[in-house]
Structure 1
Amino acid sequence: MAIFPFKPSKARRFEILVQPHLEAMYRFAFRLAGQQQDAEDLVQDVVAKLYPRLDELESVEQLRPWLNRVLYRQFIDQVRRRNRQGDRSLTELIGAEGQADWLDSLESDHVGPDLQLEQARLGPVLDRVLATLTPDQRTLLLLHDVDGWRQEHLAEVLDIPVGTVKSRLHRCRAALRKKLQRELEPVEPVGRVGE
């Protein structure tokens, strides 16, 4: 029996290229959109747009960062389109509902009663404070500090210099720290001294 060399179909070639990256694309889309359905729609839109551009896709050397950049730009385009259609704010478009449970996904080597109590106390506060950050700030912090993205990768995906990523991360952390301090400080009763 002779084996004939053949070129796989266009659909198969596309699947071979994109399939290994779909899970990472979904995680990134979820960080951007904040909701499962919106993240799935975002990935589906990107995949549908890329299918006719298979030749270009095959010529990309580092596919994952390239796909993330395309995904990010598609997300920005969708947000802009939605903003033009209505007067809703970006925060309304990208809600914090899907972000609220991210602390539950963190693992610890040792979960003692002290840590459990601290997490129970701080978890909801941190979720509330994260929800008050701008979507860009929240996404940048979560991608870098929670998902472990490198600054160079973020710079490539966001199409900005690494120095800009560093300064934005610094400002985001400062804003988060300030808001957490305000949230966690005990409120002093207002009244006269000596009463």
Structure 2
Amino acid sequence: MKRYLLVSVAFLSLIVGGCGSDKIEGPDDTCSGTSKPEYVIKSYTLSVFSSDPRGGYVGGDTYESADPIDFGSFILKLDIEKNTLAERFDKSFDFSLMSKAYACSPVLPYTQQRISSINITSSAAFSDDLPAGSSLNDVFDVVYLDYVPTPYYTKTADSIDYFSVSEFIAQDDNIPAEITQLALNTEPSFKQNHVFFLEINFHSGEQFLLESREISFQE
């Protein structure tokens, strides 16, 4: 009877206790013994959207109109294509009767890859100081990242200050997000026929070269 009771208590502890105090390496994971869904980025897709305000997730239809777009609503959205690796498990569940009966937080997918550099250019001159082919990292802000802890803005009581691409890539530990959205912080002086090119490099050696559709901006 004693053996049966111990097995029953252990099984109940597994169901109720769920989470222990140990952390695993994946970001935002609060439970030991849970799987860590790791992925590897294979490629990016680059799309143009029109959205106001700039912050927050942008979905729906891409901007396919031939009409000029308002620079303040212009969004470049990067989506990753990934391979999910076999999920790995850490420790077994803690069967201790002292385990806290808290629900586990969702385990977010993560990647070991890190961004080493991003460079944005245009086929057309942006301004007198930024001729065609110049780096536009200072005139683009990072306005949305999903599910990664990498900072991309500072917040005060009444405003949000987004990091420029230059400021963003100056950080040490840039985890590539599944979705990244960029917006202009400066109005282009020359409005016509911009094709934007993005070069993204990872510390592990991968390089991604992306090209937007041609865009003109409203006068």
Shorter-chain TM-score tier:
under 0.3
Which of 1 and 2 has greater Rg? 2
TM-score, normalised with respect to structure 2: 0.22
Which has the larger share of strand?
2
Which has the larger share of helix?
1
Q: Which has the higher contact order (CA 8 A, sep 6+)?
A: 2
TM-score, normalised with respect to structure 1: 0.24
